[in-house]
Amino acid sequence: MNSVFDLLALQPPGWGGALLRGLVSTIQIALGAYALGLCIGFFGALGKIYGGPVLRWSLEFYTTLIRAVPELVLILLLYYAGTDLLNAVLTSLGFERVEISGLWAGIYVIGFVQGAYSTEVFRGALNAVPRQQIEAAQSIGMSPILMHRRIIIPLMLPFALPGLANLWLITTKDTALLAVVGFSELALETRQAAGATKEYLTFYLAAGALYLALTLVSTLLFSLLERRLRRGEAKVH
Amino acid sequence: MVWDWLPEYAPRFAEGIWLTLQLLGLSIFFGMMLAVPIGLVQVTGPWPLAWAARAFCTVIRGTPLLIQLWLVYYGLGSLFPSIPGIRETMIWSFLRDAFPYAVFAFTLSVAGYEGEIMRGAFKGVPKGELEAARAIGMSPLQVLRRVWLPRALQNVFPTLAGEFILTLKATPLAATITVFEVYGVGSIVRQETYRVYEPLLFVAAIYVFLTLCLVVLFRFLENRRKIPNT
């Protein structure tokens, strides 16, 4: 039986390097998906608040449906639908069919799911901005874009941050689901390492530790960020 | 869209739904049995217990459920066969089945997330109510059973209901360790009929329906629990 250190060594035959590579692609997918989710969420929230009936109803449909269906089912549906749609567009334009890389498919699929959740977070936060602040901005003649940039978004961020921090943690953990579709990230690398060596307990514990380290560091960064965003506010306690 | 496979697989989907509900019900039941003490010791307990409960919640909430599930099934599951003589005992047939491992992993997950919520809930009950209960001579256990726990549960019931729906949406993960609940049946159909979208859409519709049923059930329970004039 090999020692734990041999199994987790960075050079082959150890699997430590493979796990770390998996961690890097997990972080890449999570960052990309989170950024995409934030973009969808921000404009989705603006659309829900200011949009006409058609836009509002289609956004309502999007957020309700995404939040009612399990992530795993969504990931499979979006993965197949996305690649089919892209290839249908490409072939109709006369191009060759393509295989989407795992990284981009993962980013698009998880980002699309996260977009629904962050739409709701941003909508709640935008609604929490005191009305008088908006009226004051309007009364001194700020244009809507200037008002959002200078007043609403800075005031909204502290309200949105706890929800956004939660979403980041959910995004990092959702990337593990991509292992089921066969993307090579931390969960899949772990599964392969465990399958090859039959040391299941060691590798799943190691993967758990890596995910935990990622979430703990993230939590720390988010609390620092929140302190910075709230630096002008009066202390409650 | 081709749906001619549906009648053939309908009975298996019914079994899948029943398995999903069993998994959900058992893990919520056992999970809440753990979550209440985990929440309580974080508010009142001696520091080693409070610290251990806190660490448990952090670890469970900080790692993906899929990894926890695989750790329990493949990791712990691979330890049992090495125990000498276990194959001859009654529990072996139980340990060979994937379902108990799924229930165990989901129970831990529910305990971790709901333990954190129960901590806030126990903290949120006004001190005066607990002092009043003590002042009329209730023992600590009576205070917990008659005042503290009911008031705490009442405050967080909507939050808990939302969390249980998240647990329902996590149950498809059990299919990755050969528990053939709704999603698992759907993937069997996908493999056998070579249809990509229809089984997935059907599975998605079942989950939306189950979510709606849970929402209605929790709404009913919430209204029933309400104390008049609060």
Domain boundaries, chain B: 6-224
In this complex, the residue of B63, B70, B204 whose CB is nearest that of residue A191 is: B70
* A198, closest residue in chain B (CA to CA): B78
What's the pLDDT score for residue A212? 94
What's the pLDDT score for residue B96? 76
**B117 CA: distance to closest CA in chain A (Å):** 14
B156 CB-near residues (< 8 Å, 6+ apart): B117, B118, B120, B121, B124
CATH placement of domain B6-224: 1.10.3720.10
Give residue-wise pLDDT tens across range A75-115. Answer: 888 888 888 888 888 888 877 777 777 788 889 999 999 99
> Number of helices and strands (H, E) in chain B?
11, 0
In this complex, the residue of B59, B68, B207 whose CB is nearest that of residue A70 is: B207
CB A229 within 8 A of CB A160: no
In this complex, the residue of A68, A175, A208 whose CB is nearest that of residue B71 is: A208
Q: Dihedral, CA atoms, A180, A182, A185, A187, nearest 10 degrees?
A: 30
Contact A69 B65 (CB under 8 A): no
Tokens of A187: 């969960």
Contact B204 A69 (CB under 8 A): yes
- For chain B, the residues whose C-beta falls within 8 A of a C-beta of chain A are 58-59, 61-68, 70-71, 74-79, 168-173, 175-176, 183, 186, 196-197, 200-201, 203-204, 207-208, 211-212
Q: What percent of chain B has pLDDT over 70?
A: 96
Give residue-wise pLDDT tens across range B154-205. Answer: 889 889 999 999 999 999 999 999 889 999 999 999 889 888 888 999 999 9
* B60, closest residue in chain A (CA to CA): A212
Segment (H or E) for A42:
helix A16-50
Closest of A120, A111, A108 to residue A59, by C-alpha: A120
In this complex, the residue of A65, A73, A176 whose CB is nearest that of residue B66 is: A176
A73 and chain B: CB distance < 8 Å anywhere?
Answer: yes
Best of A29, A69, A202 to mutate (most B CBs within 10 Å, chain B): A69
Contact B66 A179 (CB under 8 A): yes
Q: For residues A59 and A53, what is the distance between their CA atoms, to the nearest angstrom? A: 10
CB B225 within 8 A of CB B160: no
Of A41-55, A111-125, B87-101, B123-137, the range with the lowest mean pLDDT is B87-101
A217 and chain B: CB distance < 8 Å anywhere?
Answer: no
What's the pLDDT score for residue B221? 87
Residue B167 neighbours by CB distance under 10 Å = 20
pLDDT in tens, chain A (237 residues): 457 767 677 666 677 888 888 899 899 999 999 999 999 999 999 999 998 999 999 999 999 999 889 999 998 888 888 888 888 888 888 777 777 777 888 899 999 999 999 999 999 999 999 999 999 999 999 998 999 999 999 999 988 998 999 999 999 999 999 888 877 788 888 888 888 888 888 889 999 999 999 999 999 999 999 888 888 777 665
Q: For residues A116 and A195, what is the distance between their CA atoms, to the nearest angstrom? A: 36
Strand, coil or helix: A198:
coil
Name the H helices within B45-180.
47-62, 65-70, 77-79, 91-96, 99-124, 127-135, 140-142, 149-170
**A187 CA: distance to closest CA in chain B (Å):** 7
- Considering only the C-alpha atoms of chain B, give the largest distance between any 2 of them, rounded to a whole number of Å: 69
What's the pLDDT score for residue B5? 85
